[in-house]
DNA sequence: CGACACTTTGACTGTAGTCAATGTAAGTGG
DNA sequence: CCACTTACATTGACTACAGTCAAAGTGTCG
């Protein structure tokens, strides 16, 4: 039935996710193979070097993608937010380890069935391609951060990125844009360190420095308030010594 | 004519590039919009934040993709070798600056005509998608290096990567695999620093250290000899202090 | 209340950065 | 052919930023 409704119609991330600009037919087919799944914080979603069983869209929560060296040193190589897609198509094994950073709700697609759909519907593949290009852009931006920014710039950049992606932001939109932001950090200090290539201690010290400079305020350990996003943006590019 | 020959048939990188597994028809159409172009070392190929005029396959030479901070700090976010593809489809502006690291020969495709071809031939887009996924994998691997490896591991990893990608290697394949490698560095020390998030001096010091450890030998400043690739691989993951 | 996980703070260390001088190779012109 | 220039690379001395080790502080949950 061309006009029939699907669970997708009510989906919170429908318009932003890969499902965003698909035809009615494509949505119906995707909906048929979709299964919702809850994963609690700390649980593994994909193990590296293993054939993944499913692909997924994130409906709620944050997922971290990590790589590890033989001696245990870890690096987060990607953070995935609601509407992001998880899984590497056309690869036999996942190049990274995916773990729920917070409690997560996924919309999963069985591997074989999804890859078959991909082959049949260039539209779905095209959306996924665009998403992958965005991920590549983000990865390259992060390479600049990891290779060339100081600890304080790294932490400021991280906070700025979270502020921008947490658009559930309590935002007082002022006359020209939004200057104020309040959000919860989806990561522990250890995770932030693994994302920025720093130690826990250095992350903590830089946070207190930003606090003492008045660029951020903290409510508890997880909630961050940014009175003036421009100040944070400045701190993200220019080292404040 | 279904059996007609094209310039592509004689192309050295034909089987590895995006053109690799296309249908006869797709190759013919691609061939029609292709133009060869030479760029000498140091010349700009794409300027960041500008609409690129063309896409290209690299036929010969090495291209570096860089990002720069306001104060001039630079980071190479990608190195492209023969058979790699240059240009970001579906983006109005290039997210990075592309420059010829060595003399380069390109096979270029005009932007509009290529994007039109992409729309019409899912096969070409699919190949490009797979290539982009590989690039993302490489970027994430590099994030691990930038965030978590020591200077000596970084330099060793870099040399190993070049050794692997320069398969024009003078390789004495021993009974079980190739242990020996000899290759030319496509980058100056300054470029290597920008790729590894290090300074020129640190790169130089680590090179002399690897030399004094007998892991590499140098012929002039550009040619590197690796008697035993396994030793280099070890140095790339485990810090030698 | 106590146990545990996470975070902050402090003192000290070490790795890589900075500044400066010297070395090397390739190319130019007298 | 040999000074001279220029660009790139190496080496050395010193510094500083972030890491390490250790202790104390904070918050949460049973």
- Residue B175: its pLDDT value, please? 43
* Nearest-nucleotide field for B221 (CA, C1'): D9
Q: Which residue has the higher pLDDT, A166 or A203?
A: A203
> Is the pLDDT score of B170 beyond 80?
no
Q: How far is Cα B235 from Cα B226, in angstroms, rounded to an integer?
A: 12
Q: Which nucleotide is nearest to B239 (CA to C1')?
A: C15
The count of other CB atoms within 10 Å of the CB of residue B34 is 23
Q: Which of A64-78, B158-172, B227-241 comes out lowest in average pLDDT? A: B158-172
A197 and B95 within 8 Å at the Cβ level: the answer is no
pLDDT at A39: 94
Nearest alpha carbon to residue B20 among B131, B137, B136: B131
Output the pLDDT for position B17.
Answer: 87
Q: What does each C-alpha distance from B100 to B17, B42, B105, B144 come to in angstroms? A: 19, 5, 10, 26
Q: Which residues contact A161 (CB under 8 A, 6 or more apart)?
A: none
Question: Is B200 within 8 Å of A33 (Cβ atoms)?
Answer: no
Mean per-residue pLDDT, B68-80: 96
A45 — pLDDT class (breaks 50, 70, 90): very high
Alpha-carbon gap, residue B238 to A113, rounded angstroms: 41
B139 with A144: Cβ contact below 8 A: no
Sign of CA dihedral B131, B134, B136, B139: negative
* Most confident option among A7-16, A175-184, B30-39, B55-64: B55-64
The residue count for chain B: 241
pLDDT at A177: 63
Q: How many CB atoms lie within 10 A of CB B219?
A: 10
Q: How far, in Å, CA of B143 to CA of A195, rounded? A: 9
DSSP B149-207: --HHHHHHHHHHHHHHH-TT----EETTEE--EEEE-SS-HHHHHHHHT--HHHHHHHH
Q: Is B59:B35 a contact under the CB 8 Å cutoff?
A: no
Q: Which residues of A touch B133 (CB under 8 A)?
A: 88-91, 132
What is the pLDDT confidence band of residue B239, given thresholds at 50, 70 and 90?
low
- C-alpha A82/C-alpha A145 separation (Å) is 23
For residue range B92-136, list pLDDT tens digits in order. 788 999 999 999 999 999 999 999 888 888 888 999 999 999 999
Q: Please tell me the predicted confidence (pLDDT) of residue B122.
A: 86
Residue A209 pLDDT exceeds 80: yes
pLDDT attached to residue B93: 82
pLDDT at B1 (0 to 100): 46
> Does residue A146 reach within 7 angstroms of strand C, measured from its CB?
no
Beta strands A104-110 and A97-100, pairing class: unpaired
- Say whether the CB atom of A201 is under 7 angstroms from strand C: yes
pLDDT tens profile A114-171: 998 888 888 889 999 999 999 999 999 999 999 999 999 999 999 999 999 886 434 4
* Three-state DSSP string of B78-143: EEECCCCEECCCCCCCCCCEEEECCCEEEEEEEHHHHHHHHHHCHHHHHHHHHHHHHHHHHHHHHH
Percent share of chain A, pLDDT over 70: 91
pLDDT attached to residue B171: 42
Residue A175, pLDDT score: 43
The answer to whether the Cβ–Cβ distance between A146 and B197 falls below 8 Å is yes
Give the mean pLDDT of chain B. 89
DSSP character for A84? -
Q: What is the mean pLDDT of residues A68-73?
A: 94
Tell me, what's the pLDDT at A35?
92
User: What integer pLDDT is reported at residue B92 of this predicted model?
Assistant: 75
Whether B241 contacts chain A with CB within 8 A: no
**Which candidate, A40, A67, A41, places its Cα nearest to that of A142?**
A67
Q: A28: pLDDT confidence band, cut at 50, 70 and 90? A: confident
Of the segments B7-21, B97-111, B162-176, which one has the largest average pLDDT value? B97-111
Query: In chain A, which residues have their Cβ closer than 8 Å to the Cβ of B144?
Result: 67, 69, 75, 77
Confidence (pLDDT) at B5? 63
Q: Chain A residue with minimal CA distance to B71?
A: A238
Q: Which of B94, B115, B99 is nearest to B58 (CA)?
A: B99
Residues of chain A positioned with their CB less than 8 A from the CB of B93:
none
Backbone angles phi, psi at A51, to 5 degrees: -70, 120
Apex CA A54: angle with CA A53 and CA A58, to 5°?
145
pLDDT(B196) > 70: yes
Q: Are B78 and A148 an interchain contact pair (Cβ–Cβ within 8 Å)?
A: no
């Amino acid at each position: 039935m061309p006009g029939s409704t699907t669970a997708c119609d009510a989906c919170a991330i429908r318009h932003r996710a890969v499902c965003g600009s698909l035809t009615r037919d494509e949505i119906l087919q995707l909906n048929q193979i979709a299964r919702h799944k809850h994963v609690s914080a700390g649980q593994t979603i994909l193990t590296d070097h293993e054939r993944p069983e499913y692909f997924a869209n994130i409906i709620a929560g944050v997922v971290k993608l990590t790589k590890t060296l033989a001696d245990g040193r870890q690096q987060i190589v990607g953070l995935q937010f609601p509407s992001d897609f998880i899984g590497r198509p056309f690869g036999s094994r996942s190049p990274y380890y995916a773990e729920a950073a917070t409690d997560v709700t996924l919309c999963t697609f069985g591997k074989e069935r999804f890859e078959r759909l991909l082959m049949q519907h260039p539209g779905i593949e095209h959306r996924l391609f665009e998403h992958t290009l965005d991920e590549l852009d983000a990865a390259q931006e992060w390479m600049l951060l990891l290779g060339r920014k100081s600890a304080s710039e790294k932490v400021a950049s991280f906070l700025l990125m979270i502020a921008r992606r947490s658009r559930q932001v309590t935002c007082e939109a002022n006359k020209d844009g939004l200057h104020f932001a309040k959000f919860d950090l989806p990561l522990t200090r250890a995770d932030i360190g693994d994302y920025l290539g720093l130690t826990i201690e250095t992350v903590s010290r830089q946070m207190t420095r930003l606090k003492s400079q008045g660029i951020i305020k903290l409510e508890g350990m997880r909630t961050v308030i940014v009175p003036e996003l421009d100040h944070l943006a400045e701190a993200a590019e220019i080292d404040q010594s």
